[in-house]
Structure 1
Amino acid sequence: MSDHRSMPVPDGLEGDRLDTAIARLFGLSRTRAAELIAEGNVLVDGAPAAKSDRVNAGAWLDITLPPPPNPPAPRPEPVPGMRIVYEDADIVVVDKPAGVVAHPTIGWSGPTVVDGLLAAGVAVATSGAAERQGIVHRLDANTTGLMVVAKSEIAYSSLKRAFKERTVEKVYHALVQGHPDPLRGTIDAPIDRHPSGDGRFAVVAGGRPSVTHYTTLEAFRAASLLEIDLETGRTHQIRVHMSAIRHPCVGDTLYGADPTLAERLGVHRQWLHAIRLAFTHPTQYRRVEFTSSYPEDLAKSLEILRAES
């Protein structure tokens, strides 16, 4: 069912383009807002308008939001390179390769962790939306490393709470451009969707609180290997925070990395690896810890840097 909304333009949006105003009001990308306007689903004071028209505070908006499309259902499909590190009746811990997302999602036709587990005969918890069953946290498609998935309902609710309460230890290694100063520090800066609506995230006033702790492990001529401890778990958090302090992850062209350096090191994605995951087991109540070694592309780039430095 479509969703019809009527409201006046708030004072804070006075003078904004119509597509920007709609995007901000409804948390949409600007592209999606422009599509709604082009489809005739937006009226300003009862009349159709163009996406570039400027809005006046108090003008009346009528918007029809079509129902969101349903994400694809999970399907058993083996994921090459995905390794099950640990499994018991309640949890399964996987080492995720690059090019794999956590669960099926609109616009993604590649492999997913949920599909790979189904193919391996692992039954996951059925809590949550059908397409993301058992998923209690996520890694970006091109971030490698450790992910825990809930198999039982008790594990699902317990792990969801643990991630929310920040009792899960999530440690990453990142190769970033240049040398952060100081060599160890904390980045405490709120994150939200980038105003451009192009899928990026950014440090935005009024965004969700986000805290990243980093320590330099090794410094090379053009880059530094960092250990990163995440206090919060926002989408793209490490990538956004490192870019915000002008030290983007090597290979992360979405967030301003130098493509020449990445090419020289043979890195075709962001250099970011979830190396350690520790939490209290949801039914055994003991602390469990898992570690993962670097995948081949990341290890090779470090060899090149060490040989040069």
Structure 2
Amino acid sequence: MIEKILTKVKDSSALEVQFRLGHKTIAKVKNEWLEIDKESLGYSEWEDLKDLCLQNNDKLTLETKGFVRGVYKSMDQQWMFSFTEHKDCLKAYFSVIPNFELSQYIQSPVYWDTLKKSSGLFIVTGQRGQGKSSLLKDIISEIKKDSPKLIAVHGNFSTLSMLNNDSLIHLSEEALTWEAHHPIYDGIDQFVVDFNNIKNWEKWIKLCEEGRSVYLTISGLSVENCLEQIISQIGFQSNLARRFYQVLNSICYQKVIGIKEGAVHEFFVAQQAFKDDLFRMSFAEFKKHHEGEAFKKYFQSLNQSIIQALVRRRIDVKSAFATTEAPDDLDTQLKRMGL
């Protein structure tokens, strides 16, 4: 029964599914949660779901801690799962692990060139379930092709945990509180922090200032929203904000459309010439101030990426408008192009 539901979810291009005891199973299709099962999930089906996904030690963890994560491989798809059992709330959340490289949908040479820099801050942002960890995994895999450097990976269980490489050091959430000069960091030049909420910005900025590179994932609704969150934490026009912009290399916002359609991206590459203005202005003001062909080389809007997907026939017009966050602007651009 569970396998049939997961197959149904995959066939509908859904990326997420939630099972909850006593409720109908729902899946997220085109940013909308839809019921995909006529009957509510019964207790025997809940136990079947656990038997399907969890080993005995996982069940013990769920029983004692109330929460467990892992990976389940169905017939032709891998899923990242989390089970929760807390009082009367028994639920499981599954999200698709893309079996394709999300990085292939970023076509900008400028963005890829900035990832080759040996130091600085690189940020991947997006909403929950939008493949931030998977994109970062692709980026790290690309970086490792040309670099023997050690990489310290800070994160909970995610697709990054599945990377097996002798030069990767996997660290737990506890390591986030360690100081930048902690002995474990000696000889490490690249850091990955795969948590949606970043704290201790002083630490990561300092590591970048020492000539190291730091890759972060942050929950966000856009490049602008991501920057707003960061500046609200570190202070507008504060000394730490100035230091942040000096080490910032790029921000990439990802939105996955579907298993078949792939992803679209908004990105910004922070050139040195931009940094004083970034410090002085909000990002919305900054974009208005730098409108022009030269700026377009370093900033790609989500609508531009959607139009590229349309032109390459990865998506249709209906999917384009379901994906965009600025439908009026998209409509104007499509009419201008005669599409």
Q: Same fold (TM over 0.5)?
A: no
Q: Which has the higher helix share?
A: 2
Task: Give the TM-score normalised by structure 2.
Answer: 0.28
Task: Give the TM-score normalised by structure 1.
Answer: 0.30
